[in-house]
Structure 1
Amino acid sequence: MSDWDSDAKNASPDGEFVRDTSYIEDRIVAGLPAGSAPEQQGDQTFHWPVEEGRYRLMAARACPWAHRTVITRRLLGLENVISLGLAGPTHDWRSWVFDLDPKEKDPATGLHRLREAYDNRFPDYPKGITVPAIVEVESRKVVTNNFPQIPIDFQTQWAEFHREGAPDLYPEELRGKIDKMGAWLFKEVNNGVYRAGFAGSQEAYESAYHRLWDALDWLEDYLGTHRYLVGEHVTLADVYLFPTLVRFDPVYVGHFKASRNRIAQMPNLWNYLKELFALPGFGDTTDFREIKEHYYYTHSDVNPTRIVPVGPDMSPIAEPHDRDRLGGSPFAEGTTLPGPVPAGEEVKNPEPFQEL
């Protein structure tokens, strides 16, 4: 999503942070002829055909909402089917910038700012210029930025392109539970840290703070007897929680004032996080340096000096975990793990303890 500092002003009269959750609700779906034009489904909604090479996932290592789509794409083996464009961690109100690439332009589309893709389809697009976004490469137009739907569609609509042995992250018999858990996580945890960090009054902050920690305490207890959030293996529910947990100690504790304690001080959540971090798709898509640079630099309302802190030392996240005590396994029998990260998609700052 867009995390620039105008978000901090998006508050109700009592100071509570209220996120704009209106997105481009187009979807890329199976069953339409490759090469065909999008089919209109409603006044402003279209379905686009699943097609290898037609689309590019625009993301940023810094953004937790984009991170979940990057993880899902990698776990399912869609790297050679849907390319990946990565914006840099810092930007201004005009939108994310592809300043990690030569000449500060995305190499596949020539876009400098992500806003260009939105304006190419919707001139003077009035809403947030958010990641993740899927862009049609040839037209350089945004297709969708509906972040809750993108991982689900990667699993359900792109199945013909999944790598052999890819996990089922959204098993049909568990979808109701995954959806329910995902909705709760978004409300109480994923967006809960923002509700605390962007609160516009002391009362709103304290309410958000206690609500967030109530949820984290519940997760700590739950993960004491459950290895994963839903079922016996990793599902999309775990993909939804990981980006928030992995950002918590380096950013949310200080920057968003979620300061009761670190995740590293909560044994079940910490070991759960360590297990996920060790899996291909999770730790190898995480860049702590870009995460910290984004939050501490871009949210100038929260951090006017834009000083990025040194630390904390995140190297213990790579140490062994204790989750085997609960039985089960990350993936079902017959599942194979992703291979090496494709050339050019490696995180630029791979060490979890790498300082500025």
Structure 2
Amino acid sequence: MRQTWRWFGPLDRVSVDDMLQADVEGVVTALHHLPTGAVWTPDEIARRVCELSVKSDGTPSNLKWEVVESLPVSEDIKKQKGDWRAHIENYKISMKNLAEAGISVICYNFMPVLDWTRTDLKYRLSSGATCMRFDYADFAAFDIHILKRRGAAEDFPEGIREEALKRYAGMDENSQSELTKNIVFGLPGAAESFTLDDVRHHLSEYAIISADGLRANFIAFLEEIAPVAETLGLRLCCHPDDPPFGLLGLPRVMSTEADYRAIMDAVATPANGITLCSGSLGARPDNDLPGMMERLGDRVHFLHLRNVKRETGDIRGSFYESAHLAGDTDMVALVAAALNEEKRRKGTGRSDWSIPFRPDHGLDILDDQSRQAQPGYPAIGRLKGLAELRGIIAALDR
């Protein structure tokens, strides 16, 4: 398993020097400053390659850009309206430019409107560490009473509606603003974020798109780009919905094993693969992560290894991001399944037998709490997670 680390570019509070001290093997990054739908030009790609290739003292880092996360898919593509055809052509050009730069793995997602959703970016645990959390009642308070989405109340159980009303009644203007900011935070590192009016506009346009309709648009997108990826020697890997259940009345099409199987069967090329994110998928109690790795492993091109602690047994419920070995996913079993898949690939002669993974997210601990890095991406918390994962890999290999 190839050890990688997500980096948000020169403005990241976790530096190239920090990555080197973590002893990672490769870098996961993206051109976060470019607007969604724009072409990633050779010059912009080369600039990012150069930025991560040197340490703060100007000497070589010897680090390489190995995985793109993310080459974002525009809302126009997801809805099949506006500039969607032009955006698909731009996506193909960006893929070609990335391939020519020697980058072969592209992670992306097909989540409508909100790329990931948390209600608290600094939830304090009993240890004093902080983490990201999704509180279902807080989200209901936002949806029903702040966003005021039509029909929102009917989407929540009675007990959650009652608790949401109590919490909203106890919020002052600053609390409402903070909750809203957390929920519409957007893709980590992205140049764009949404206002409440932006969210309402997108919701009105998605109102006519069912889950089947969104899945059909996704398949149409893949039918365009997957053959290009195959020709270029690229591996595409879709990230699951986060959290993996419906929010804001929006369709979700990448939340379960059945969702992944439907997309892979519809566009049955090895270039069309999976980012298996144990944290996102692990927020649902009916997702069997080790089993998914075993059954879908031949199309897993990238692994996000993190853990969450579910606070209820419901499909839709509250959860928080735990230490890598402390949540509800059996991380040892998942890593064992990944190592078995690597052995199988190696035995068949696959050149991509080593699966890149990164320690996804982490608790803010020690000096992380004053560093103020991207939410979910501290230095020490991720290093602790990586160390734990390395221990599992070493023990299983032995």
Higher relative contact order (CA 8 A, sep 6+): 1
Q: TM-score, normalised by structure 2?
A: 0.29
Q: Which has the higher helix share?
A: 2
